[in-house]
Amino acid sequence: MEKINQAFEKVKMNPAFEKVKMNQAFEKMKMLVGMEDDDDPEAAASSSSALQHQDSFMDEFNRNCTLSTKQRFYGFAICLAAGLTCTLLSMLVFFHPIKFAITFTLGNLLSLGSTAFLIGPKRQVTMMLDPVRIYATAIYLASIIIALFCALYAHNKILTLLAIILEFGALIGKYSLSYIPFARSMVSKIMLACFDTEF
């Protein structure tokens, strides 16, 4: 039994064993985020060129922008880090609503775009336009447009501050909760329970 344990320890120390272990973990991560195995961009492009000639814009965009899994993870990490940095830096200019709105909205857009690296732009748009979250997406995108309009065009600090509050509420209250199963119904039940008082 001791010899078996020693042999197993030798195998575990082998760099090839570590590489296999890392590849298995990487494959599990890809399956979790719903990515297909597309490490070979040329093979993906040649297989996609056999599709119909009348494809939508997003199909053509996906074919022309084939990234390896490693590149997708790098793009996701960089975009998410930039988005979080912009959002956190916006807190430094909190008392200047116009600058705050621009940096906060830029941070939100970068964070939203980071998931397109993981799952692809077509799937991102499809998920955003899903009937379950179409209203949440519309409210969130409209609030981003309103916040940028108030900050860049109207230059009104009060309207900009209200638009930022609307944007933050739409991000947390509608859009983010739409991706968590049963979250919106649970939050609405909690709100009803908290504020449903009888006199």
Residue located via tokens 């600058």: 99
How many domains does one find in the chain?
Answer: 1
Candidate ranges 18-32, 58-72, 128-142, 164-178; pick with highest mean pLDDT = 128-142
Give the tens place of pLDDT for each residue, 85-129: 998 999 899 888 888 889 999 999 998 888 888 888 888 888 889
Q: How far apart are CA 108 and CA 199, in angstroms?
A: 42
- The pTM score is 0.60
Tell me how far CA of residue 191 lies from CA of 132, 183, 188, in angstroms.
20, 12, 5
Model confidence at 1: pLDDT above 90: no
Q: How far apart are CA 142 and CA 119, in angstroms?
A: 23
Question: Residue 35: inside a domain, yes or no?
Answer: no
Give the tens place of pLDDT for each residue, 128-156: 898 888 888 898 899 999 989 988 888 88
Domain with 75 in it: 70-195
3-state DSSP assignment of residue 152: helix
Question: Residue 176: inside a domain, yes or no?
Answer: yes
Question: Residue 100: inside a domain, yes or no?
Answer: yes
Q: Which of 96, 115, 74 is nearest to 160 (CA)?
A: 96
Question: Residue 91: inside a domain, yes or no?
Answer: yes
